[in-house]
Amino acid sequence: MAKFTLNRAATGLLVIFTVATLTFFLLRVLPGGPFDTDKVLPPEIEYNIAKKYRLTEPVWKQYLFYISDLSRGDFGPSYKYIDRSVNDIIRDAFPVSLKLGAVALLLSVFSGIGLGVASSLNPRGAVDIFGVTVSTALVSVPSFVIGAVLVYALSIRLGLLPAALWGRPEHYVLPAITLAAGPTAYLARLVRSSMLEVSNAPFVVTARAKGVTRTKIVLKHILKNALIPIVTVLGPIAAYLVTGSFVVEQIFEIPGMGKFFVTAVSNRDYPLVMGITVVYTMVLVLANFSVDICYAYIDPRIKFGKGH
């Protein structure tokens, strides 16, 4: 287990370093610069501003400065938010995205697993047809359409929930539903197919022959053994829900990292784009690592030995 953890940690660090390096150079390749949209400044002032942010140095030297600062956990200053560093912005915005992602994750897990289990209990029945229809619809419709429909129906027409902003518990409802719609549909279809596959396994047939109750068969035998593929996708889904809320945060005016990331890209705010990208990568690495650890607890047959 210790060797596995060290190997995964080394791999994670390599992934973060690679993503940080690619992001740094790709931003430099893009046309335009961080101060091109500002008003025209005298050449000497423009030079002093660029010098302040080390943009007058060769690209390779800027990269060494960046990697050196990154190794100390310093993402540098923001080009557009003059009075705030990237660390300050992430410190304020990440908890917002994390809370929204956590609520959406809980909603998608319980809804997706519940809908998938209900569909698998009576294949091609009324509940199954309803579940498959809903899952297909939620997968097919983009999140910005779902968000717009929810705002129109529940906020504008009925006045039940606030259409935007952040801070109170009721502000979580619409964005969390919008963000969780896609993962809920995906989990529901995955749970259904996994449970139907496990239902025909020999140990399930044996349990039925012994007269074990249906509830015990479903919970102890079928659902437990169908969890492996479900847990496999929970890592990427969790990372997506925490880091992939760009559109949702824009629609509902949520001050999370997704909103800052969109504005940073349009403003060519290099340090902010790179800082948020690195944090997103760290979340994905940690989520996948957590999934690997969960394997051993869900299925004792999985051991972390050579080759893992």
pLDDT tens digits along 89-142: 999 888 988 888 889 989 988 988 888 888 888 888 888 888 888 888 887 888
Whether 183 is in a domain gets the answer yes
Among 61, 38, 59, which residue's Cα sits nearest to residue 49?
38
Report d(CA 137, CA 143) in Å as an integer.
11
Whether 126 is in a domain gets the answer yes
- Non-local CB neighbours of 13 within 8 Å, separated by 6+ positions: none
Q: How confident is the model at residue 21 (pLDDT cuts 50, 70, 90)?
A: very high
pLDDT at 41 (0 to 100): 64
Whether 277 is in a domain gets the answer no
Task: Tell me the two tokens of residue 234.
Answer: 């929970």
pLDDT tens digits along 131-150: 888 888 887 888 888 888 98
**Is the confidence at residue 199, as pLDDT, over 90?**
no
Q: Report the pLDDT averaged over residues 46-65.
A: 81
> 40-44, 89-93, 158-162, 182-186: lowest mean pLDDT where?
40-44
pLDDT at 19 (0 to 100): 92
Whether 222 is in a domain gets the answer yes
**Is the confidence at residue 262, as pLDDT, over 70?**
yes
Q: Report the pLDDT averaged over residues 34-52.
A: 69
Whether 168 is in a domain gets the answer yes
pLDDT at 295 (0 to 100): 67
- Non-local CB neighbours of 79 within 8 Å, separated by 6+ positions: 34, 35, 53, 267, 268, 269, 270, 271, 272
**Is the confidence at residue 200, as pLDDT, over 50?**
yes
Whether 73 is in a domain gets the answer no
CB atoms < 10 A from the CB of 170, how many?
10
Task: Tell me the two tokens of residue 7.
Answer: 């190997």
Across all residues in the chain, what is the average pLDDT? Answer: 82
Percent residues over pLDDT 90 in the chain: 8
Report d(CA 112, CA 186) in Å as an integer.
7
User: At 230, which CATH number?
Assistant: 1.10.3720.10
Structural domain containing residue 225: 89-270
Whether 36 is in a domain gets the answer no
Among all chains, which residue has been given the structure tokens 């994750």?
105
Question: Please, are residues 67 and 25 in contact by the beta-carbon 8 Å criterion?
Answer: no
The predicted model scores a pTM of: 0.79
Residue 128 CA: distances (Å) to CA of 112, 202, 284: 13, 24, 33
Whether 9 is in a domain gets the answer no
Q: Report the pLDDT averaged over residues 182-208.
A: 84
Q: What is the SS3 assignment for 50?
A: helix
Q: In the chain, how many domains are there?
A: 1
